[in-house]
Structure 1
Amino acid sequence: MREQQVSILLKDEYNGELGTLSIIAIDYFHDDETSEFISVNDEIKLKNVDLVEVADNLTPIQYCNEYSSYFANLMFLEETDYQILFESKEDISSNYHILYSLTKINSSFFKIFHFPLGDEKVFKLAGTLNFRSYVGKSFFDIKKDNVKSKSIPLEVRSKKLDYFNQYPQMIADLASYSSSLLFDMNSPLYQEFELDKKEKTTYYEDFMFLEYLFRQDNLPVSFEFIIRNLYSRLKNYNESVPFSLASNVGASELIDVISKPDNFYKMNNNSLISNFKGYLPFEIEERTYKESVDVPENRFVKYFLELVEELIEKLLQSSKEGYIKDKLLLFKDLILTYLSSNIFRDISQLDFIPYNSQVLQKKEGYRDIFHYYLMIEFSFKLNWRELNNQFKGFEKKLSELYEYWCYFKLLEVLSNLSDDEINFENIFRINRNNWTIDLKKGQSSINHFKIMYNGNVVYIDLFYNLLFSEKSRYKSYSLAFKPDYTLLIKCDEECYYVHFDAKYRSELEIIDFYDKIKNKSDFEIENHVEKYNNEEERRSTFKYGDIYKMHTYKDSILETEGAFILYPGNDSKIFKEKDLIIPSVGALSLAPGNDVDLDNLELFIRKIIAKVIG
């Protein structure tokens, strides 16, 4: 365990000193303390803060030298307490607004200590900063009267998700689901959209998109599939051939022959030419057919790859030596390899984007490229208001984004189990006047799935935020409850409820860690700390309080057989009687980008269906 500290000398735009901001945190996973501050520049000093190339999701404060163009150098963690102290010897009678940018967006981040801090000749203000479940960029700064200090960028990472892999995956999934409404044939918004071409103020999302795009199972796999299954069409064209070699002469060819008298020559003693008064054409325009890959869909693929190359070049112009630049150069090599493929020699430039193409919307490989294209901007004329509200400012509230993401994963699992495709018009409420959409909730959010299982028919209705109360159609015999997701499973005359709650929260087994080192010698404690710092020991597990809530659902909501949390952790556990899958409560791990978790969720629902059928 060590105390980390960042000391920031805040200055105004004329480099006048306004005061010193100190941020202090306890790092439970490292104990390599230093006794002095080190300066990384004229404004920032660090104590017990590691200089790293890639930030982890455990250490409260880290400093990344390589991220200045894309991420902030100063890296912090969500749901972590930081002690804040601001000191200024200048004009202590002034009005100070500490952490101006942060508290302007969300005042609940910073709790001020209201007690005297000593020296009356120095302005001091202290408090506790906690970003809760928000991640992303913001700034440390102050405002003294009407003078604002220069802003020091900061980055808040996730504890529970891999911020540089799983977080982009979740955002990309949400972008894909929202855009799916555009391709729903029943939707009044079908194909009626355009991308917002506004310029970005930072390259932050661009780089994270590239990290997502170039994962092996994304663009590389999609491109390889397209190359092996290249879409083509038969194109007809006219070819001049000697009359004697013509094999496909029809009415249109004969009309063409007659319309060109200069193309004839005189022949004698040939019965074939009696109708032409002794003349035959030198050549004839014969219609032939040839398979061509120069079609709008392939032109679009070429256009997309060129678009990605331009994006990479733009980012390289402002990148510095290190991790970011190395990754961009790797991405550039890959995209140039794709563009150098022989297939693009026969493919011309794109004239228009074929939004109506069923190939782009449905054919494997092409469909993926089209969605990647839409994700580059992640900004449609079609606006998902609830999602966009979580992206206002710099911070993103992962708890709510994770809740939306889990909902779509449940829909995906149920669609896989049945023959019913997801109807996105049943999921989104559409405001046709201002082109906005919201998720349907409550009784209106019902999605029906018919599932065949071992010769039996099972019907499952999925609800989002369905209310159960004493007076509503859906009954709770005590208080009112509103689980995040509810499955109503019906087979013959039987029906059961199964509930899920998305819990974007977990805890490292820190309490257990301290229990284990009680009454141990210093030597034993040192060995245990070293063991605990191993990756296997730092497992993210569910919170017991969330399991208690699942018991409340199970016991209070009539006809409920199971209640489970979904969370981005390492452990799944079902609390049940004997070997019964239901009735039960428990926790299921579900993390973005983890296909095993999704497979396990599908298997778990299969087992519930099997138990209902009996």
Structure 2
Amino acid sequence: MQQEIIIPLEDQYNNPLGNLSIISLTEVEFNSEFEINNIQYKNVPQVEIPDNTTPIQYCSHLGKHHFAPLMFLEETHYQVLFESKKEESVKFTVLPHLSNSHTNYNPFEPLRFQMDDEHSYRCAGTLNFRSYVGKSFLDVKKDSVRSKSIPIEVRSKKIKYYDQYPAMIADLSEICSALIYELKSPLFQDFNLDYKKKSTLYEDFMLLEYLFRKENLPATYEYLIRNLYSHLDSYQEMVPATYASSVGPGEIIQFLSNGAHLYQSKNTPSHWPIKLKNYMPHNIHQINYQDSVDTPENRFFKYFLESLDILILDLIKKSKEGYVKDKLCDYSDEVGYYLSSKWLKDVGKMEYAPLNSQVLQKREGYRDILKYFLSLELSFRLSWEEISDNFKGYERKLSELYEYWCYFKLLEVLNKLSNKKLDFADIFELNKDEWSINIKKGEKSAQIFNIEVEGRKVKVKLMYNRLFSRNTRKKSYSLPFRPDYSLLIDLDGNIFFIHFDAKYRSEVEVLDFYEKIGSEEQKIFHDLKEANKRDAEEERLHKFKNGDIYKMHTYKDAILKTEGAYVLYPGSREGLFNVVPGEPIPSVGAFPLNPGDNEKEKYDLGDFITAVLLNLINRWGLEI
């Protein structure tokens, strides 16, 4: 079925410029037609929560996520046609906003042949956002006059970018902040606020997305307002003597020193001194105590929230319309809610940062605020090229970000299996003078884990992007290959490999891989193209793609001493293809690994690695 939207475009003065039509095909049946804000929608579903079932959707319930109502889908082909009344010496530019984006590609490709007639100007082409998702705009330009922009949302096929994408970025941000906060990190330094901040928007924004995860600052704030640290403040209050609840030596000396405060009375206590018999003070200065939250630690907490508010407002001014600005507005509203709490009115201005306070360093909640503060104040100085290079405008190339994220998840799994603490020096190349970091790759990325399996220790080495070719020490017998992650398993000098590839990538890239192998593999290329319909169904079911498994076979067959190769992908279905039924290896397959709540997925991956090691031990008789 054909989906179509027709958008009448106008300039800033409401003068019509022409009609923009966008068409896509879907296998899902929708017999609907409606019009909203002069835009015609044909066979387009109205949804409350976006999904990946159809190329075009209209989000009728925007909620708090600030979605643009008109929604497209990544890795999807759209046909575009712009029609306008023909005018002499007038030049139209179709979708200029997309061509001026910060990405290194133009998603709109106009057809080369002319479609004009004597009355109409027509421009046709194809639109494909590839793996860039986020907010953007549709518009045209007539000479130098730009039309009003129509906001759109490009959603992901594989992860929920309004849910799982922030979780992925938050995990990467946590690594950034840990580089500074961890005592053994080469970038650790004494607490010092005299520094120059970096002003790169996305380094700031990446950390904010980590900070505002519900289990981080929001949870910490809710805990602290119920468990605020306080102390007792003493104050003097003049009260009638008959109402005094506690009179100590200091109060007695005070009213004795001024006889004018005394009057004769027959009701003085019998135990009073003789000289005070029949005398009674009118009023007494009584010491009272009250619980106060105006502590150095709470002043620091308030300062942190105020600084966060200023930072977010500054970023809002700098950011363009789109995903980033919408999320920043959400964060600004949340911080505004925090700062409106009544208890903050009783907290004064911070005069010094109590960074040596035992309450800040050790007490639950406060130590988290200290960590967030240090992250905000210090980690902006870091330059993480792999991450910042993949933030282009307000669009994100998720395929590469997902690859980095999977690397750290795999590290977590191996750290847990070996009870090894993460050592940042093994992962990053650090330049302390410039505060820059890069992930180690190739042979120098190797990290060693000693994993115990049924009382026997196995040496496992993890490498990131290691090259295997006919000229390297560890070889491929045919063409060069560079798996994302390779596990080298050493059993008394017998070497075995297990490979993993992060597969957010599109089917187009998988096909390109086979196309590059050579003419003798053209049949594979042709067969994969024929499988596109089947792959589309697998994508809707959140299943791994057959093309990805083909590539795992290539790793397994071409890289010497390889026992298995597996896809890590954002989906829901695990698949393992064993040579020997019931044995974990030799095999190829796929494991789901999703940003967000993925503890079970990490646990399952750890179980599989353990099963592989046990299988090799049993086959090769490793001694204790």
Q: Is the 1:383–1:436 contact (alpha carbons within 8 Å) kept by the matching residues of 2?
A: yes
- Residue 25 (structure 1) aligned with residue 24 (structure 2): yes
Matches within 5 A, 1:118-157: 119-157=117-155
Residue matched to 1:250? none
Residue matched to 1:9? 8
| Aligned-pair Cα RMSD in Å | 4.6
Which letter does structure 2 place at the counterpart of 1:579? G
- Residue 585 (structure 1) aligned with residue 582 (structure 2): no
Structure 1 residue 491: Cα displacement: 3.2
Structure 1 residue 229: Cα displacement: 9.3
Structure 1 residue 565: Cα displacement: 0.4
Residue matched to 1:63? 58
| CA 1:496–1:369: 2 relative to 1, 3 Å | farther
Unaligned segments of structure 2, at least 5 residues: 232-247, 251-256, 258-291, 316-320, 508-529, 619-624
SS of the residue aligned with 2:174?
helix
Structure 1 residue 581: Cα displacement: 0.9
Could you tell me which of 31, 36, 42 is aligned with 1:47?
A: 42
Structure 1 residue 27: Cα displacement: 3.5
Could you tell me which of 611, 615, 622 is aligned with 1:611?
A: 615
Q: Is the 2:70–2:152 contact (alpha carbons within 8 Å) kept by the matching residues of 1?
A: yes
SS of the residue aligned with 2:392?
coil
Could you tell me which of 35, 38, 45 is aligned with 2:35?
A: 38
Residue matched to 1:460? 460
Residue matched to 1:100? 96
Q: Point out the more displaced range, 300-309 or 134-143.
A: 300-309
Count of aligned pairs between the two proteins: 524
Matches within 5 A, 1:490-569: 490-505=490-505, 538-569=540-571
What CA deviation, in whole Å up to 9, does each residue of 1:219-257 have, x standing for no partner?
565567778999999xxxxxxx979xxxxxxxxxxxxxx
* Aligned counterparts of 2:301 and 2:565: Cα–Cα separation in 1: 45
Residue matched to 1:599? 603
Which letter does structure 2 place at the counterpart of 1:567? Y
Structure 1 residue 169: Cα displacement: 0.6
* Aligned counterparts of 2:300 and 2:498: Cα–Cα separation in 1: 44
| CA 1:336–1:605: 2 relative to 1, 3 Å | farther
* Aligned counterparts of 1:613 and 1:360: Cα–Cα separation in 2: 49
Residue matched to 1:237? none
SS of the residue aligned with 2:461?
strand
Structure 1 residue 458: Cα displacement: 1.7
What CA deviation, in whole Å up to 9, does each residue of 1:454-497 have, x standing for no partner?
22222222111000111112211111100001111223333211
Residue matched to 2:240? none
Structure 1 residue 578: Cα displacement: 1.5
What CA deviation, in whole Å up to 9, does each residue of 1:78-100 have, x standing for no partner?
11111111111142643322111
Q: Point out the more displaced range, 475-484 or 423-432.
A: 423-432
* Aligned counterparts of 1:206 and 1:47: Cα–Cα separation in 2: 41
| CA 1:308–1:600: 2 relative to 1, 3 Å | farther
Residue matched to 1:389? 389
| CA 1:451–1:333: 2 relative to 1, 3 Å | same
| CA 1:205–1:49: 2 relative to 1, 3 Å | farther
Structure 1 residue 513: Cα displacement: 12
What CA deviation, in whole Å up to 9, does each residue of 1:256-291 have, x standing for no partner?
xxxxxx9xxxxxxxxxxxxxxxxxxxxxxxxxxxxx
- Residue 488 (structure 1) aligned with residue 492 (structure 2): no
Q: Point out the more displaced range, 219-228 or 11-20.
A: 219-228
Superposed structure 1 runs of 4+ greater than 4 Å apart = 192-201, 203-210, 217-233, 292-315, 327-337, 344-379, 511-515
SS of the residue aligned with 1:566?
strand
Q: Point out the more displaced range, 87-96 or 303-312.
A: 303-312
TM-score scaled by structure 1? 0.72
| CA 1:583–1:224: 2 relative to 1, 3 Å | farther
Structure 1 residue 334: Cα displacement: 8.8
Q: Is the 1:99–1:141 contact (alpha carbons within 8 Å) kept by the matching residues of 2?
A: yes
Structure 1 residue 108: Cα displacement: 4.0
Q: Is the 2:198–2:381 contact (alpha carbons within 8 Å) kept by the matching residues of 1?
A: no
* Aligned counterparts of 1:394 and 1:374: Cα–Cα separation in 2: 26
* Aligned counterparts of 2:44 and 2:208: Cα–Cα separation in 1: 25
Residue matched to 1:81? 77
Structure 1 residue 46: Cα displacement: 2.7
Q: Is the 2:174–2:210 contact (alpha carbons within 8 Å) kept by the matching residues of 1?
A: no
| CA 1:232–1:483: 2 relative to 1, 3 Å | farther
| CA 1:219–1:434: 2 relative to 1, 3 Å | closer
| CA 1:83–1:328: 2 relative to 1, 3 Å | same
| CA 1:355–1:449: 2 relative to 1, 3 Å | farther
Residue matched to 2:284? none
| CA 1:220–1:89: 2 relative to 1, 3 Å | closer
Q: Point out the more displaced range, 19-28 or 358-367.
A: 358-367
Q: Is the 1:226–1:365 contact (alpha carbons within 8 Å) kept by the matching residues of 2?
A: yes
Which letter does structure 1 place at the counterpart of 2:144? N
Residue matched to 2:447? 447
Which letter does structure 2 place at the counterpart of 1:121? H
Matches within 5 A, 1:203-602: 213-214=213-214, 217-219=215-217, 222=220, 300-301=300-301, 304=304, 350-351=350-351, 369=369, 380-505=380-505, 538-576=540-578, 577-593=580-596, 594-602=598-606
* Aligned counterparts of 1:360 and 1:461: Cα–Cα separation in 2: 39
| CA 1:405–1:300: 2 relative to 1, 3 Å | farther
- Residue 161 (structure 1) aligned with residue 159 (structure 2): yes
Q: Is the 1:57–1:162 contact (alpha carbons within 8 Å) kept by the matching residues of 2?
A: no
TM-score scaled by structure 2? 0.71
Residue matched to 1:189? 187
Which letter does structure 1 place at the counterpart of 2:557? D
Structure 1 residue 373: Cα displacement: 5.7
| CA 1:220–1:448: 2 relative to 1, 3 Å | same
SS of the residue aligned with 2:159?
coil
* Aligned counterparts of 1:574 and 1:367: Cα–Cα separation in 2: 44
What CA deviation, in whole Å up to 9, does each residue of 1:35-57 have, x standing for no partner?
xx51325xx33333344443333
SS of the residue aligned with 2:133?
strand
What CA deviation, in whole Å up to 9, does each residue of 1:342-395 have, x standing for no partner?
xx8998665555678898789875565556567889981212122111112121
* Aligned counterparts of 2:445 and 2:560: Cα–Cα separation in 1: 20
Q: Is the 2:309–2:336 contact (alpha carbons within 8 Å) kept by the matching residues of 1?
A: no
| CA 1:357–1:63: 2 relative to 1, 3 Å | farther
* Aligned counterparts of 2:51 and 2:387: Cα–Cα separation in 1: 27
| CA 1:547–1:141: 2 relative to 1, 3 Å | same
Which letter does structure 1 place at the counterpart of 2:615? K
What CA deviation, in whole Å up to 9, does each residue of 1:282-305 have, x standing for no partner?
xxxxxxxxxx99876665555556
| CA 1:490–1:301: 2 relative to 1, 3 Å | farther
Structure 1 residue 185: Cα displacement: 3.4
* Aligned counterparts of 2:442 and 2:592: Cα–Cα separation in 1: 25
| CA 1:103–1:220: 2 relative to 1, 3 Å | closer
Structure 1 residue 128: Cα displacement: 1.3
Q: Is the 1:564–1:587 contact (alpha carbons within 8 Å) kept by the matching residues of 2?
A: yes
What CA deviation, in whole Å up to 9, does each residue of 1:560-609 have, x standing for no partner?
11110000011001111221111111000000112221221122122222
* Aligned counterparts of 2:12 and 2:140: Cα–Cα separation in 1: 12
| CA 1:170–1:452: 2 relative to 1, 3 Å | same
Unaligned segments of structure 1, at least 5 residues: 234-240, 244-261, 263-291, 516-531
* Aligned counterparts of 2:468 and 2:133: Cα–Cα separation in 1: 33
Q: Point out the more displaced range, 221-230 or 440-449.
A: 221-230
| CA 1:186–1:471: 2 relative to 1, 3 Å | same
